[in-house]
Amino acid sequence: MTKYNHQTKILIAADCIIFGFDGRQLKLLLVQRALEPEAGKWSLVGGFVQPEESLGQAASRVLHKLTGLSDVYLEELSTFSEPTRDPVERTVSVAYFALIDINKYKQQITTDYHAEWFDLNKFPKLIFDHQEMVEKAKARLRYKAAFHPILFELLPAKFTLPQLQSLYEEVYNIEMDKRNFSRKILSMHLLEKLDEKDKENSKKGAWFYKLNKKKYKANFHSVATIIPNPDIYYS
């Protein structure tokens, strides 16, 4: 069959902005780049798209290689395609952002690769335009989480309302009212109270909740204005 002759072919990469939450802070997973140039410098997790895979598959593959994890929340963020963004050779990158439960995959990560979790407010200089990707991913996370219940992806299966609230407060860098927060969250009817308490973090202990997976899937699209003035977080 005819080919599209005289058209320029370009390298395509998938890069992942991987967010985690350790109970206190939002974290970003970075690796030390293996390839020259800039080998040893910190970079997002990424790789070139292979002949037989889609971009989503490439992102999943790269993510799985690093974390051992398969069912990750993964969402296409946007393309980065400035002709000179990679000084070596033109490469268009498609950025994905991922949300994972940091505790679940801690061990696998650190042993296999030169990977490390960094505080999202203080991480090393990144190669190329990866800094820009992170900024865009942060903005998208804030925007999306203001309307959709995606932050659960960052928590373990069992979590408490105070933990959930801390996560929101960390993502938006705001303080929220406990009473209004729990009313709002519970009114979404996505959570089930367990008859077990988390006694680690307080004397009284806080009730554990878990996601009702059925309702979560069914209501995943639900739009709830969990955050006041979501305007600010537009992306």
Partner DNA sequence: TTTTTAATTGTCAAAATTACATTTATTTTT
Partner DNA sequence: AAAAATAAATGTAATTTTGACAATTAAAAA
Residue 89 has a CB neighbour count (10 Å cut-off) of: 7
Token pair, residue 218, equals: 């069914």
Restricting to residues 128-157, which ones interact with its own copies according to CB under 8 A? Answer: 147-148
Which of 196, 41, 6 lies closest to 123, judged by CA?
Answer: 41
Which of 115, 111, 96, 112 lies closest to 27, judged by CA?
Answer: 115
Closer Cβ to its own copies, 102 or 134, answer by number: 134
Restricting to residues 127-146, which ones interact with DNA according to CB under 7 A? Answer: none
CB of 198 to DNA, least distance (A): 8
Tell me which of its own copies, DNA, none is bound by residue 52, counting a contact when its beta carbon lies within the kind-specific cut-off of 5 to 8 angstroms. Answer: its own copies
CB of 45 to DNA, least distance (A): 33
Distances (CA, A) of 139 to 16, 129, 165: 15, 16, 19
Restricting to residues 156-215, which ones interact with DNA according to CB under 7 A? Answer: 160-162, 177-180, 182-184, 187, 199, 201-207
DSSP state of 70: -
Tell me which of DNA, its own copies, none is bound by residue 217, counting a contact when its beta carbon lies within the kind-specific cut-off of 5 to 8 angstroms. Answer: none
Token pair, residue 227, equals: 């955050």
Q: Does residue 82 bind its own copies (CB under 8 A)? A: yes
Q: Does residue 65 bind DNA (CB under 7 A)? A: no
CB of 158 to DNA, least distance (A): 12
Tell me which of DNA, its own copies, none is bound by residue 50, counting a contact when its beta carbon lies within the kind-specific cut-off of 5 to 8 angstroms. Answer: its own copies
Q: Does residue 34 bind its own copies (CB under 8 A)? A: no
Q: Which secondary-structure segment (H or E) carries 116?
A: strand 115-119
Which of 16, 31, 45, 60 lies closest to 118, judged by CA?
Answer: 31
Q: Rounded distance, CA 195 to CA 102, Å?
A: 25
Tell me which of DNA, its own copies, none is bound by residue 206, counting a contact when its beta carbon lies within the kind-specific cut-off of 5 to 8 angstroms. Answer: DNA
Tell me which of its own copies, DNA, none is bound by residue 231, counting a contact when its beta carbon lies within the kind-specific cut-off of 5 to 8 angstroms. Answer: its own copies
Strand, helix or coil at 204?
Answer: coil
Q: Which residues of this chain interact with DNA, rule CB under 7 A?
A: 160-162, 177-180, 182-184, 187, 199, 201-207, 225, 228-229
